[in-house]
Structure formats: structure tokens, C-alpha cells
């Protein structure tokens, strides 16, 4: 049984058909790389997969069940990392992550959050307002959610490598491979070349006029 699959997904934005009849299927331990130029519809597709946006037509299934019928089960087993980081600049990294965990029913103690931030090279920056961190450090803060919710069955990641330096890219790449190797499923977009040493399915969206 696929973790996530679709049947004939089509999305229109401003009278433009972004994609039509998309059928995809992602199993446990599988990586799907969604490619395409700016404006092709990658983010739109990912948002439909999360259930945040309704498609014009077609169905998204989580473990063979329509996502609209899954209730909390889908949300509990999903991490969506979108373009917007969803962090509050006035809160510290620890406070942001504690808040995120509380609102996503992720049970962690504060010590685990500090340890996770250490893995992301944010030692000494855990307790200052996130607004005073660099762009890459803010992104690392948001990405810590992947470490904190590694028992989710599916990660949907929209450009997670943006603003990361080489070390950050390596840390995230290793985490993705670790998660996939343990049976997680990943759907990812990236304008940087995705060079994960892991079997990768690709879905390319063309820019349609």
C-alpha cells in the first residue's frame, strides 16, 4: 500500500492549467523529486498533496484513503515544510519549536530540542529571538521539526535546501537518507541539484502556457 498516491490530479490557477491528470505514488522508504521551472506548479502540487488546497479535479489518497476522510491520522503522520518558515521572529528557536511541537501533538522535552539544535549547528543561538538569526540559521531552526517528528510517515518538503550552506546541505541530506532508510517517504522540490545517494523517482512539471 502506498503512503501517498493521487488519481488524475489537475490544478488551474488564474485560468492556466498548471498540471493535468497527475498520477503519483510514493511508498514507504521512497523518495519522489518534483522538478520543473519557476511557475510550473510544484508548490501548488505539494499544497494539494497536503490537503491545504483543493484540486480542480482528482483525488489524493493517504494509505488508500481519501485525505479528506483521514481526519487527524494524515496530519499526525505528515510534516509539511513549505516556502514560509512559520516561525515567529520574536520567539527564540527553542520557544518556536516547543510551540510547534505543542500544536502538532509532538511530545518532546526541552532537552531534546536543545540537542536537535546542536545537530543543526545552532549552539549558543537557541535562546535569542529568531529574527536576529541569519536566513540560513532561521531555516535550520524550522528544519529542526524534521528531527523532532521523524516518526511521521511522510515528509513533504518545498525547497528545503534554500539558504543552507554546504554543511547544512550535508546535514539535511544525511537526515533525509536516514529517514528514508528507516521507511519514511519523502516528496521534495529543489532547484539545487538533488544529489542524494538514494534511489529517486522523478516527476517533472512543464511550464504550460
Ligand X SMILES: Nc1ncnc2c1ncn2[C@@H]1O[C@H](COP(=O)(O)OP(=O)(O)OP(=O)(O)O)[C@@H](O)[C@H]1O
Q: What does the binding site for ligand X look like in residue numbers (CB under 6 A)?
A: 13-14, 18, 36, 38-44
For ligand X, the closer CB: 28 or 43: 43
Nearest approach, Cβ of 164 to ligand X (angstroms)?
17
Nearest approach, Cβ of 46 to ligand X (angstroms)?
8
For ligand X, the closer CB: 18 or 125: 18
Q: Which three cell numbers stand for residue 113?
A: 530540542
Residue 52: half-sphere exposure toward Cβ, Cα within 13 Å: 12
Nearest approach, Cβ of 59 to ligand X (angstroms)?
19
Nearest approach, Cβ of 35 to ligand X (angstroms)?
9
For ligand X, the closer CB: 18 or 146: 18
For ligand X, the closer CB: 41 or 168: 41
Nearest approach, Cβ of 137 to ligand X (angstroms)?
22
Q: Are 142 and 87 in contact (CB under 8 A)?
A: yes
For ligand X, the closer CB: 44 or 50: 44
Cα separation of 185 and 156, whole Å?
9
Cα separation of 110 and 148, whole Å?
11
CB 132: neighbour CB atoms within 10 A? 11
Q: Are 33 and 78 in contact (CB under 8 A)?
A: no
Cα separation of 177 and 158, whole Å?
17
Cα separation of 37 and 193, whole Å?
13
Amino acid at each position: 500500500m502506498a503512503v501517498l498516491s493521487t488519481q488524475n490530479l489537475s490544478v488551474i490557477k488564474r485560468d492556466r492549467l498548471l498540471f493535468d491528470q497527475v498520477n503519483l505514488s510514493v511508498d514507504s522508504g521512497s523518495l519522489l523529486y518534483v522538478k520543473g521551472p519557476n511557475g510550473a506548479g510544484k508548490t501548488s502540487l505539494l499544497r494539494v498533496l497536503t490537503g491545504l488546497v483543493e484540486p480542480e479535479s482528482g483525488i489524493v489518497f493517504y494509505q488508500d484513503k481519501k485525505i479528506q476522510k483521514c481526519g487527524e491520522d494524515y496530519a499526525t503522520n505528515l510534516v509539511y515544510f513549505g516556502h514560509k518558515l512559520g516561525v515567529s521572529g520574536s520567539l527564540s528557536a527553542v520557544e518556536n519549536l516547543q510551540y510547534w511541537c505543542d500544536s502538532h501533538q509532538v511530545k518532546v522535552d526541552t532537552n531534546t530540542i536543545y540537542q536537535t539544535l546542536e545537530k543543526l549547528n545552532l549552539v549558543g543561538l537557541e535562546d535569542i529571538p529568531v529574527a536576529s538569526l541569519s536566513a540560513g540559521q532561521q531555516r535550520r531552526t524550522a528544519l529542526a521539526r524534521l528531527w523532532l517528528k521523524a516518526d511521521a510517515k511522510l515528509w513533504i518538503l518545498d525547497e528545503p535546501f534554500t539558504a543552507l550552506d554546504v554543511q547544512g546541505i550535508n546535514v539535511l541530506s544525511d537526515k533525509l537518507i536516514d529517514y528514508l532508510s528507516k521507511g519514511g517517504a519523502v516528496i521534495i522540490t529543489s532547484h539545487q541539484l538533488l544529489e542524494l545517494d538514494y534511489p529517486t523517482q522523478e516527476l517533472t512539471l512543464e511550464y504550460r502556457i
